[in-house]
Structure 1
Amino acid sequence: MAWNEPGGNSNNQDPWGGRNNNGGGNGGRKGPPDLDEALRKFQDRINRLVGGKKRSGGSGGDSFGSGGGKGLLLLGVLLVGALWLYNAVYVVDEQEQAVVLRLGKYHETVGPGLNIYFPPFETKYQENVTRERAYSKQGAMLTQDENIVEVPLTVQYRITNLKDFVLNVDQPEVSLQQATDSAVRHVAGSSTMDQLLTDGREQVATSVRERLQRFLDTYATGITVTQVNIQSASAPREVQEAFDDVIRAREDEQREKNQAEAYANGVIPEARGAAQRIIEEANGYRDEVVARAQGDASRFSQLAVQYAANPQLTRERLYIETMQEVLGQSSKIMVTGQAGQNLLYLPLDKLMQNRAPAPTSAISSGAAPAASSDTAASVIRNLPQSTEPRTRESR
């Protein structure tokens, strides 16, 4: 039931805490309260909050006096002060810095922590100076050999000098993009199409980063380029098939080179080893010949001393040793006597071939072959007796 419905509100109390009686300030009529009365009540509450005095009487037109105006003014000042303090106090994170301008002029650079500035006399610019930022772009570039190549790239950068970033350039990141276009076009115009599309991309990216950083340092933007990544560049669609053929031919060339290098790595060490072996054999032969010559010279010197002491005995000894050395290497011997006696042929090679093999038991017991011994003995018995036999080798 409504508050002003007849018979519905026995207390005749309105929503603003007043009562509707016949002696009230609204002339004793029932209905909504007067707006002036509501404003007067609100003013009284504000005066109580700010220490003012409540006005007990008077009309609504007298509610906004000097005391109420001062209270509202004070309340407004407090509200404005609270808002100003809320905006003036700020916190700088560990990864951030803030630049404060006083009356449009650089004042200071603020580090991490709780800080305060005084707007509107001061202005602050707060940025993250440790985070890596990046942007990507792609464009058609004209190469040195007059080809058009699509070059997509990504530039990574960060703010290293916040003062220069805020004050020197109006829009530093836009300047960075424009400088990137200039650097890429300059480097691409100085490179060939193969360098941009194949193994020269790393060198091109390094050249772009260096040139771009020089531009930014000249502009004093406070930005440092950390890396430039050139992604897989591609040739125009019209020549893509021909360029794929060129890439396959290049891969075949590299494979052939690798196979040739593998073959060379296998053959060259073998040749070097064989050459070293021949050198070592030659050195060994040289040492052997020199040592034998030195031994023969020493033996001759010792023999000359013995010959001077006893010539006859030395001659006989040399004769016997020489005949032993010569006949020991011959398989056929001719023996003759004096006065034209018959020539005796002694076939030692045939004797060795016709010798019967001895049993294993006889050989192990030390017994000599009987057939061979008898044959040799019969031949020796039939030799002519002579005091001075002559023996010669028959070839």
Structure 2
Amino acid sequence: MAWNESGNGQKNDRDPWKNQGGRDQGPPDLDEAVKNLLGKLGLGGGGSNKGGGSASLGGKGLGIVLVLAVVVWFIAGFYTVKEAERGVVLRFGQYHNLVESGLHWRPVLIDSVQTVDVSNVQQFQSEGFMLTQDENVVRVELDVQYRIVNPRDYLYAVENADNSLVQATDSALRFVVGHSSMDEVLTVGRENVRAQTLELLERIIEPYQLGIQVVDVNLLPARPPEAVKDAFDDAIAAQEDEQRFIREAEAYAREIEPLARGQVRRLLQEAQAYREQTVLRAQGEVARFNELLPQYQAAPEVTRQRLYLETLEAIYANTAKVMVDVEGSNNMMYLPLDQILQKQRERIQQMQSNQEDRVTPLDTSSRSDSSRNSNQSGSSTGRTTSGRG
């Protein structure tokens, strides 16, 4: 059934466009619809509303829109800067001021704000193959830690402060490595390379005013090219052994030095004692001769004979020789009786020690008696021999 036919088959003159009299007027005009909408909002152009009433209503609506726009513009101007950040305010694209953390307001479309993190420490790594002073190639990695201290300089002093710092670090590192030997970069001189790189990097970035402070640099373990890696590993191991030997030698020196100092003090004390003993003995000899001089002057011959006999007595007392006068002969026979007696005593002591090992504890008294008898016999033998001599 068509839209213009009724249920009983008759034609219906009503249509969706509310055409009257069966006239085909087409769809409603879009401009008319917009004017009607503006009229309802009080912005004028309402069609049937004419005169001063429509003009006053349109002015009131425009005021409301302006107030709403101002409120929205004011609310949109509030912004927050985080605790670790600082805000750089630009007014019409030019630096205006620096704001701290917290809630702030700016005029939208006039001021713009860029926030910069100034509390947290940032880091990056500079690495690459570099040529040393002795014309060797090493792979060096440097870890750089920095933080932003001047947000304005960081944003506007150079085009890209982070990239500038990376390039300055690479330049400083290559300069220091180029003036160091490979052994220094790989082993003993790593701390010097790190310190020199930090000092040179600070001097390089100072004129550029990057607004960045380098906190620290850390030189990671350098590596030689793979073709010579094994040889340099051996060299590093040898240097480690050298350091270990040095520490062991120092420990040995710390152990021996007190003993040597003690021996030196002991020798000094013994020398001092010997000196005093010699001086005292000499003084005693002088005193003895001073006492002997009046006796010698009174009886020279007797005193000379007595001194001669005392001297012979002192000499023979320290001599291990036994002289035997053979009757009827003009020669003196020498017998090593002292050595014979000494060997005899050693044999007796050896026999006694063997008997002590074999006897039981009950034979202790008899063993001691036999030892005593043996000692007495040896003593009597010695006395007899000495008396005969």
Cα deviation, 1:129-170, whole Å, max 9, x if unaligned, reads 111112234334344344444333332211011222233223
State the match for 1:172 in structure 2.
161
State the match for 1:246 in structure 2.
232
Taking the aligned partners of 1:333 and 1:143, their CA distance within structure 2 comes to 90
Taking the aligned partners of 2:289 and 2:246, their CA distance within structure 1 comes to 60
What letter corresponds to residue 65 of structure 1 in structure 2?
Answer: S
Aligned 8 A contact 1:92 1:112 in 2 = yes
Moved more, 304-313 or 67-76: 304-313
State the match for 1:62 in structure 2.
49
State the match for 1:132 in structure 2.
121
Q: What aligned pairs does 1:1-395 form with structure 2 within 5 A after superposition?
A: 62=49, 65-236=54-225, 240-252=226-238, 254-255=240-241, 258-259=244-245, 262=248, 266=252, 269=256, 272=260, 276=264, 282-304=271-293, 325=314, 328-329=317-318, 332=322, 372=380
User: Which secondary structure state, in structure 2, belongs to the residue aligned with residue 173 of structure 1?
Assistant: helix
Shift of the 297–98 alpha-carbon distance from structure 1 to 2, 3 Å rule, reads: same
User: Which secondary structure state, in structure 2, belongs to the residue aligned with residue 118 of structure 1?
Assistant: coil
Shift of the 73–317 alpha-carbon distance from structure 1 to 2, 3 Å rule, reads: farther
Taking the aligned partners of 1:71 and 1:199, their CA distance within structure 2 comes to 85
User: Which secondary structure state, in structure 1, belongs to the residue aligned with residue 83 of structure 2?
Assistant: coil
What letter corresponds to residue 252 of structure 1 in structure 2?
Answer: A
What letter corresponds to residue 232 of structure 2 in structure 1?
Answer: V
Count of matched residue positions in the alignment of Structure 1 and Structure 2: 337
What letter corresponds to residue 227 of structure 2 in structure 1?
Answer: E
User: Which secondary structure state, in structure 2, belongs to the residue aligned with residue 181 of structure 1?
Assistant: helix
Aligned 8 A contact 2:39 2:47 in 1 = no
Shift of the 202–73 alpha-carbon distance from structure 1 to 2, 3 Å rule, reads: farther
TM-score by length of 1: 0.61
Shift of the 317–363 alpha-carbon distance from structure 1 to 2, 3 Å rule, reads: farther
User: Which secondary structure state, in structure 1, belongs to the residue aligned with residue 158 of structure 2?
Assistant: coil
User: Which secondary structure state, in structure 1, belongs to the residue aligned with residue 206 of structure 2?
Assistant: helix
Taking the aligned partners of 2:166 and 2:229, their CA distance within structure 1 comes to 30
Cα deviation, 1:279-329, whole Å, max 9, x if unaligned, reads 665555444433322222233234446667898997797677556545645
What letter corresponds to residue 230 of structure 2 in structure 1?
Answer: D
Taking the aligned partners of 1:208 and 1:128, their CA distance within structure 2 comes to 26
Uncovered stretches (5+) of structure 2, i.e. residues with no partner: 1-17, 21-28, 349-366
Shift of the 319–180 alpha-carbon distance from structure 1 to 2, 3 Å rule, reads: closer
Taking the aligned partners of 1:371 and 1:227, their CA distance within structure 2 comes to 92
Shift of the 231–68 alpha-carbon distance from structure 1 to 2, 3 Å rule, reads: farther
User: Which secondary structure state, in structure 1, belongs to the residue aligned with residue 112 of structure 2?
Assistant: strand
Shift of the 120–257 alpha-carbon distance from structure 1 to 2, 3 Å rule, reads: closer
Taking the aligned partners of 1:348 and 1:180, their CA distance within structure 2 comes to 95
Name the % identity: 33
Taking the aligned partners of 1:81 and 1:292, their CA distance within structure 2 comes to 122
Cα deviation, 1:155-196, whole Å, max 9, x if unaligned, reads 221101122223322322222233233333333333344444
Taking the aligned partners of 1:303 and 1:360, their CA distance within structure 2 comes to 51
Moved more, 210-219 or 305-314: 305-314
TM-score by length of 2: 0.62
Taking the aligned partners of 2:378 and 2:128, their CA distance within structure 1 comes to 110
Uncovered stretches (5+) of structure 1, i.e. residues with no partner: 1-25, 29-33, 53-57, 381-393
Q: Report the RMSD for the aligned CA atoms in angstroms.
A: 5.5
Taking the aligned partners of 2:224 and 2:271, their CA distance within structure 1 comes to 63
Shift of the 302–117 alpha-carbon distance from structure 1 to 2, 3 Å rule, reads: farther
Taking the aligned partners of 2:272 and 2:368, their CA distance within structure 1 comes to 46
Taking the aligned partners of 1:137 and 1:344, their CA distance within structure 2 comes to 104
Taking the aligned partners of 2:170 and 2:379, their CA distance within structure 1 comes to 112
Taking the aligned partners of 1:370 and 1:59, their CA distance within structure 2 comes to 161
Report which of the two has the higher share of helix: 2
Taking the aligned partners of 2:38 and 2:295, their CA distance within structure 1 comes to 155
